Structure 1
């Protein structure tokens, strides 16, 4: 079958998939964002629809205080004995956790902490007797051994209590490339297969596989390892690894995995970070032969609007470390999202920010801002040290670029009244220094209360800054995430309405 790529565009890394009858369910990493661990449903592996999140309540993850790079890493989702199970590492937070639910849409449990599992990227598998095996990557995140990597490890686990039933054993850990991680264990026709990633999450990322007669080994590696890697190739999708294996509706097999779409003259920058891709495979002599990950032709522009008339924010909206419901309202001023500032800015780890992922190379985000009671606007964010902002308030429009320890601003006076602010990403081609980055980021305002007609008619956007997109990319920030663009309040109370997104590849 033909699998679309990207399968789930935008910052949706480390996908894991499980099949329940004719239904497929997919979960992704979410790091410091809330709600956490997004979930998708499909009947054909082609169209993925968001259905909810695992983390919807305070305390399920310890996100409020985790550092950037921490939070929800690399879930594995499975269905067993009538229940959904999801294991994940809350890095620098609660540790490795076990969540359960009767329905994938939730509600999900509060999470049981695994005891006796020191590492990341946990996986779940059960043998015919019902014994549960948790296989994981032995990267140490804390203590005297922080940073040490013990390879791929495994324990038998009591999932109800979270207690390991034995000391960890070392399993096959790949071909010798760095960072063996993301293990997934499967029984296929009486043979146990151990699928792992190695080579690091960057351009050397790859998929390798081994097999054994028992779930605890000993494992023999595939002679053709790695069975998938885009390193040192001209493929448009790079960093392919960390895969999960699933049967397709037509009886075949597929890998669901993260990848990146690097752009720029040297293909060095990936604005959207790690996205979810898919590819087919065949079995030959008991080993998988995997097709390269290929992009499918774009289908045309995608347009989304939000007039904020619903009872709650849609599933696409994210906040950073604290729930948006704690400091924003959809009822205070009907038809608006009202955000109350607390003095934090986009330079802080917990800003008053509500955003959505950039999912296309060419994208336009706009929103109408009533800043009569404060200062706020739109921000394109990778993390608190890498973001571009366009804000209004006190009669001033201000563009800001934050790149590490450097910050520059541009200002222009504005007439009173609501203003539309806009962030546009424009891919760059050709040769020379101007083509080194993946895109240009344009920050502008439209001083017109009728924002819908002002933008569509070309009736007067005022551009404050045109910035190089390479400084707000996953490789530059090194935060493992991707661009999220959204609304924020830096001072007082700010009301937003008529949010729109237009994206195209």
Structure 2
């Protein structure tokens, strides 16, 4: 009996070691438009960053669950910058591919030069300067490498630029020269409108071509990147078509489910399929986690689901209607030494020698206004630029990755000028933010809370409390609890005083603010349009996620 029990325990141990539990999203927070490629036993994944800098993070994994950021594609200001762009403009929908020793990145710089391609020998970088593709008119370009040819496929205008309805788009392709990085020959239209133009489908986009068992598959999103988002599939015997749509499209959507369901995942689409370590197919895609209606502050996030092939067609999340927050797969987990990106987690970011790869600036990186120090941490100059403009303020941010979380920092700053402010932002756009800061009012030291003004470029003062001028160091904390935010400060560690609680968090949601991005916590200092020689130092940034569903 004991021997049988030992055998059973050993078998259970082996089985458990060969099981991996996925927790969705696999990249929590503002990580939209995922694209993934497999090279050997490594996976590399990229996301859109819009007007944030560095642009396009690159993650590496060996199991599709544990991701470590290894670099950023746009990490040099001379590659490109986004000065003058709103926060939801800039870089749209990157795609990563690998072919014969070279990594390729295609993307769209919206409102400017359009589509481009970049290359690297190491996915961590350095990446080349962009090569612009003026013939490729549209958005969301991706590459497909066939046996002897390569193609670039993308979303484009309606035929003859005469849309039959709002949102009427096409999917088109050119043959592509991967050596000289240019298109070849004539443009070919692959899809007009969507899988069934008689139903007036909108915004077919994010296309990827892949080959399986002598079939060419065209996988794309339809319905727009909100609650009607979906994923569709077509196939052909030729890379350039004609493509026949799957009769049971879409292969992924959440739009038909009860919006009142508990802990909903919505807006799923923009998927790419990849072979897992077990040889089975998986899909990475964007989706969102609203806390009420269509309100969410964490932006569009990266999810994963299994894929089953049925009669030669891939079905995403085949056993469930709802996207699962957790599921298991039959292969071994490979953990990495990195900050977790899924489930509940906590971390402390310090600024002793270098900035974490995940930290974000607005529009470009200018090393002249900040410095790093083992004692003081991150020191910023107070400059005239503000977060309400479209320049590069003294602003360093980290994504909000949970519906319920806290972010706090230790601030070393003193001033007697009302225009000089330093503190912590919860920031969604130039007009949609809250700012808890240390400043002065009539020469007295105060802690203030401001709200961005949707009607103008100003700020509205919500709360203010005086503190002793001797309190050079202060601690500032923002707590998010779905639709409510609370703002606190302390002059001694952990002796928190609430400045204002239960502040409207829907003001920060994509539903209210618009655009395509999620909220970020930002260390921010400004002299509010005036010249200043003052500076502020941030010792660390603490973050803790506490979503109920992961407890």
Is 1:396 matched with 2:446? Answer: yes
Is 1:132 matched with 2:150? Answer: yes
Answer yes or no: is the 8 Å Cα contact 1:64–1:322 preserved in 2. Answer: yes
Paired residue for 1:308? 351
* Unaligned 5+ runs, structure 1: 428-438
User: What does 1:154-233 correspond to in 2, within 5 Å?
Assistant: 154-172=173-191, 173-176=194-197, 177-233=201-257
Count the aligned residue pairs.
478
Answer yes or no: is the 8 Å Cα contact 1:398–1:464 preserved in 2. Answer: no
Answer yes or no: is the 8 Å Cα contact 1:230–1:238 preserved in 2. Answer: yes
Is 1:284 matched with 2:339? Answer: no
Aligned-partner SS, 1:171? strand
Aligned-partner SS, 1:372? coil
Q: What is the TM-score of this pair, normalised by structure 1?
A: 0.90
CA root-mean-square deviation: 2.1
Q: State the alpha-carbon separation in 1 of the partners of residues 44 and 342 from structure 2.
A: 24
Q: State the alpha-carbon separation in 1 of the partners of residues 540 and 70 from structure 2.
A: 24
Q: How many Å apart are 1:2 and its aligned residue? A: 4.8
| Stretch moving more, 385-394 or 62-71 | 62-71
Answer yes or no: is the 8 Å Cα contact 1:132–1:158 preserved in 2. Answer: yes
Paired residue for 1:375? 421
Q: What is the TM-score of this pair, normalised by structure 2?
A: 0.83
Summarize deviations over 1:189-244 as a string: whole Å, max 9, x none. 11100001000111000000000000000000000001110003146211101000
| Stretch moving more, 372-381 or 275-284 | 372-381
Q: State the alpha-carbon separation in 2 of the partners of residues 382 and 296 from structure 1.
A: 28
Q: How many Å apart are 1:31 and its aligned residue? A: 0.3
Q: How many Å apart are 1:148 and its aligned residue? A: 7.6
Aligned-partner SS, 2:438? strand
Paired residue for 1:64? 83
Q: State the alpha-carbon separation in 2 of the partners of residues 478 and 120 from structure 1.
A: 20
Is 1:490 matched with 2:526? Answer: yes
Answer yes or no: is the 8 Å Cα contact 2:113–2:134 preserved in 1. Answer: no
* Aligned CA distance change for structure 1 residues 117 and 299 (closer, same or farther; 3 Å): closer
Q: How many Å apart are 1:182 and its aligned residue? A: 0.4
Aligned-partner SS, 1:240? strand
Aligned-partner SS, 2:512? helix
* Unaligned 5+ runs, structure 2: 1-19, 328-340, 528-533
Q: How many Å apart are 1:61 and its aligned residue? A: 2.6
Summarize deviations over 1:422-480 as a string: whole Å, max 9, x none. 111013xxxxxxxxxxx2111121122xx3xx2xxxx2323235311111012211110
Aligned-partner SS, 2:376? coil
Q: How many Å apart are 1:498 and its aligned residue? A: 2.9
Is 1:294 matched with 2:332? Answer: no
Task: State which of 453, 460, 468 in structure 1 corresponds to 2:504.
Answer: 468
Paired residue for 1:253? 281
Is 1:421 matched with 2:476? Answer: yes
Aligned-partner SS, 2:185? coil
Aligned-partner SS, 2:506? helix
Give 4+ residue runs of structure 1 displaced > 6 Å after superposition.
297-300
Paired residue for 1:81? 100
Q: How many Å apart are 1:144 and its aligned residue? A: 12
| Stretch moving more, 397-406 or 353-362 | 397-406
Answer yes or no: is the 8 Å Cα contact 2:169–2:204 preserved in 1. Answer: no
Q: How many Å apart are 1:14 and its aligned residue? A: 0.2
- The structure number with the bigger radius of gyration is 2
Q: State the alpha-carbon separation in 2 of the partners of residues 466 and 359 from structure 1.
A: 20
Q: State the alpha-carbon separation in 1 of the partners of residues 544 and 98 from structure 2.
A: 36
Summarize deviations over 1:315-357 as a string: whole Å, max 9, x none. 12101002152421104x7432011122122212232210100
Q: State the alpha-carbon separation in 2 of the partners of residues 256 and 210 from structure 1.
A: 18
Q: How many Å apart are 1:139 and its aligned residue? A: 4.8
Aligned-partner SS, 1:166? strand
Summarize deviations over 1:28-57 as a string: whole Å, max 9, x none. 000000111001111011111111110100
Is 1:18 matched with 2:18? Answer: no
User: What does 1:28-67 correspond to in 2, within 5 Å?
Assistant: 28-67=47-86
Q: How many Å apart are 1:115 and its aligned residue? A: 2.6
Paired residue for 1:99? 118
Q: How many Å apart are 1:79 and its aligned residue? A: 0.8
Paired residue for 2:272? 244
* Aligned CA distance change for structure 1 residues 300 and 246 (closer, same or farther; 3 Å): closer
Aligned-partner SS, 2:542? strand
Q: State the alpha-carbon separation in 2 of the partners of residues 399 and 425 from structure 1.
A: 15
